C-alpha cells in the first residue's frame, strides 16, 4: 500500500499514458478506481470460438449454444487466487445469447491482469504477479506524483450533423413498423466519424472532469481503444448475490442554465412519450430479473427520479432482487443483457429492427464494460457516451429510443445531446507524437497483448 497526494483521475490517466502496459483497463465505480495492467489470463469470444490463455498456455475451441457457460468455467478453473477480471463485451453478444446468427468480430474480451491497482482517496493498493512490473509501476507512480498536470492540446472538432437525414428516414420507417405492431420500442443509433487522431488518456481526463457518470472507463485491449462515461449499470451483483439494474430512459438536455434546466426537467417529467418509454423499460427489467432471482424478491427500489449525466438528464429507476444460494453472476448478466434501454421491447424484435436500420456492427457501443471477481461480484456498465478507435478509424455513436410517438427531429436532437457528452472533450494527439501502437513500451505483458 502506498500513499499519494495526487487525485485518482490523475494517477489513472498518468498510468494509461505512460506506455507501461500493452493491455490496460481503467475502471471507475462508486466504490473506487481500479487499474488493470498486463495479462496473466485472458478469454476472448468471437462468433465461432472461445480462446483462453492462462499463465502463458493458450487453448481455443468452438462454443455451442451460448458462450457464457464456457467463460464462467474458464474463470472458475483459473490457477490464480483472488482474481478480478476486467474487459468488455459487444452488443452482438446478445445475439449469441438469443441463439441468433452472429457476424464476425469479438463478442467478449476479459483479462485477469498481471498488475492491479486499487485507488481509494490517498491510498494506492498495488499488487503484481511479476516483480519487474511491480517495480516499474512504483517508479511510474513516483513520477506521476512529482509531475504537473500536462497542458491540454488542441480540441478536436466533430461534425454532429453527419448522416442526419439518413437517421431521420430510419426513424420514420421504424415508427411505421412500431405502428404496424412489429415491436414496441427500439433504440436506433447513428455513428459519427472523428477525422483527427485523438489523445485517449488526455481526452478521457478532460471528459471525466465535464461529466457525472455512473461509471467511467478507459481501455486498450486487443486493438480496441475506448473511453466513456456510462450513464447506467446493466447489472450489479454483490458477493452475497444481491442483484441491481438501473434502467435510464427519457432524455432532455442539460445546459448549465439553472432556469432552463429546471424547465427541461419539468418537461421530461410530464412528457407522455418519455414516461411511456421509461415505464416499459422498467417493466422489462423487472420481468428479466424475475428469472434468476428468488420468487417475490424483485422490487422497484427507485422509480422515475432524474439523474444528471454530463450534457443530458434522464429519467432513472432502480430494480433489485436476490439470487438464490449457488447462483452465478453470469446468470443475472445473461438475463438482462443487453440493457433494455439500449436495445428495445421486445428484445428479439428490437435486435432485428436494429439490424435492418443500422448500417454496421455496433461492437462495444451498447455493450458493457465488465469487472468480475472470484467472490461472485460483478459490475457491468452500459457502454454509451463513449469514443472508439480500431483498425485505423475513430468514431462516436449515440442513439435514441424510438416508440410510436417518436418524431424524427426530436430523436435526432437527442442523439446530438448525448454525443456532446464526449464530443466536447476530444483532444488531438500532440503534434508529431502520433499514437503509439499497443504494447510498444509494455512491461512483460506477453505477445497476446
What would the grid cell of residue 219 be? 481501455
List beta partners, residue 322. Answer: 242
Answer whether 267's CB lies under 8 Å from 315's CB: no
Distance CA 417, CA 275 (A): 19
Catalytic residue from among 8, 28, 114, 232: 232
Q: What is residue 413's DSSP assignment?
A: H
- Number of helical H runs and strand E runs in the chain: 11, 23
Question: What nine digits make up the cell of 231?
Answer: 450513464
- How many CB atoms lie under 10 A from the CB of residue 365? 24
CA pair distance 44, 368, nearest whole angstrom: 15
∠ CA 424-32-230, nearest 5°, is 35
232 in active site: yes
Alpha helices in 123-179 (DSSP H): 131-146, 164-179
Nearest to 245 by CA among 118, 384, 171, 341: 341
CA 108 to CA 231: how far, in whole Å?
21
Q: Please count the residues of the chain.
A: 449
Q: What is the DSSP letter of 254?
A: -
Which of 75, 93, 83, 81 lies closest to 36 in space, CA to CA? 83
CA angle 26, 31, 36 (to 5 degrees): 25
Give residues with Cβ within 8 angstroms of 292, minimum separation 6. Answer: 243, 321, 323, 327, 331, 332, 334, 335
The secondary structure of residue 428, as a DSSP letter, is: B
d(CA 389, CA 303): 36
C-alpha cell at 315: 429519467
Rounded distance between C-alpha atoms, residue 61 and residue 68, angstroms: 14
Is the Cα torsion angle 214, 220, 226, 227 positive or negative in sign?
Answer: positive
- Active site residue ranges: 232
Amino acid at each position: 500500500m502506498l500513499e499519494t497526494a495526487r487525485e485518482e483521475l490523475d494517477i489513472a490517466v498518468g498510468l494509461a499514458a505512460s506506455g507501461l502496459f500493452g493491455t490496460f483497463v481503467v475502471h471507475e465505480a462508486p466504490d473506487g478506481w481500479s487499474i488493470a495492467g498486463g495479462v496473466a489470463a485472458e478469454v476472448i469470444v468471437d462468433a465461432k470460438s472461445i480462446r483462453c490463455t492462462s499463465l502463458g498456455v493458450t487453448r481455443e475451441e468452438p462454443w455451442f449454444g451460448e458462450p457464457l457457460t464456457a467463460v464462467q468455467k474458464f474463470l472458475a478453473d483459473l490457477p490464480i487466487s483472488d482474481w478480478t477480471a476486467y474487459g468488455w463485451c459487444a452488443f452482438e453478444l446478445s445475439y449469441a445469447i438469443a441463439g441468433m446468427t452472429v457476424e464476425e468480430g469479438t463478442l467478449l474480451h476479459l483479462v485477469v491482469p498481471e498488475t492491479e491497482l486499487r485507488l481509494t482517496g490517498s491510498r494506492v493498493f498495488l499488487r503484481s504477479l511479476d516483480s519487474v512490473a511491480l517495480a516499474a509501476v512504483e517508479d511510474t507512480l513516483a513520477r506521476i506524483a512529482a509531475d504537473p498536470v500536462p497542458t491540454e492540446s488542441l480540441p478536436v472538432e466533430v461534425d454532429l450533423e453527419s448522416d442526419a437525414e439518413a437517421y431521420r428516414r430510419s426513424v420514420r420507417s421504424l415508427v411505421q413498423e412500431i405502428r404496424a405492431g412489429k415491436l414496441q420500442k427500439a433504440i436506433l443509433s447513428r455513428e459519427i466519424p472523428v477525422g483527427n487522431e485523438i489523445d485517449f488518456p488526455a481526452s478521457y481526463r478532460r471528459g471525466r472532469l465535464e461529466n457525472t457518470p455512473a461509471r467511467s472507463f478507459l481501455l486498450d485491449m486487443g486493438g480496441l481503444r475506448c473511453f466513456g462515461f456510462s450513464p447506467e449499470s446493466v447489472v450489479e451483483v454483490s458477493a452475497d448475490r444481491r442483484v441491481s439494474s438501473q434502467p435510464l430512459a427519457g432524455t432532455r438536455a442539460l445546459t448549465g442554465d439553472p432556469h432552463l434546466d429546471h424547465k427541461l426537467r419539468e418537461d421530461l417529467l410530464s412528457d407522455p412519450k418519455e414516461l411511456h418509454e421509461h415505464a416499459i423499460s422498467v417493466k422489462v427489467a423487472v420481468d428479466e430479473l424475475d428469472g434468476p432471482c428468488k420468487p417475490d424478491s424483485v422490487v422497484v427500489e427507485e422509480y422515475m427520479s432524474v439523474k444528471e449525466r454530463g450534457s443530458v438528464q434522464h429519467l432513472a429507476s432502480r430494480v433489485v432482487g436476490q439470487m438464490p444460494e449457488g447462483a452465478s453472476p453470469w446468470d443475472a448478466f445473461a438475463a438482462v443483457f443487453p440493457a433494455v434501454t439500449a436495445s428495445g421491447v421486445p428484445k428479439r424484435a428490437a435486435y432485428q429492427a436494429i439490424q435492418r436500420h443500422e448500417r454496421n456492427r455496433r461492437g462495444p457501443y451498447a455493450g458493457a464494460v465488465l469487472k468480475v471477481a472470484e467472490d461472485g461480484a460483478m459490475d457491468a456498465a452500459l457502454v454509451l457516451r463513449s469514443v472508439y478507435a480500431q483498425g485505423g478509424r475513430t468514431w462516436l455513436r449515440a442513439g435514441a429510443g424510438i416508440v410510436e410517438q417518436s418524431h424524427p427531429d426530436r430523436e435526432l436532437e437527442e442523439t446530438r445531446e448525448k454525443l456532446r457528452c464526449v464530443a466536447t472533450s476530444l483532444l488531438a494527439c500532440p503534434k508529431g507524437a502520433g499514437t503509439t501502437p499497443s504494447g510498444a513500451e509494455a512491461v512483460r505483458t506477453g505477445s497476446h497483448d
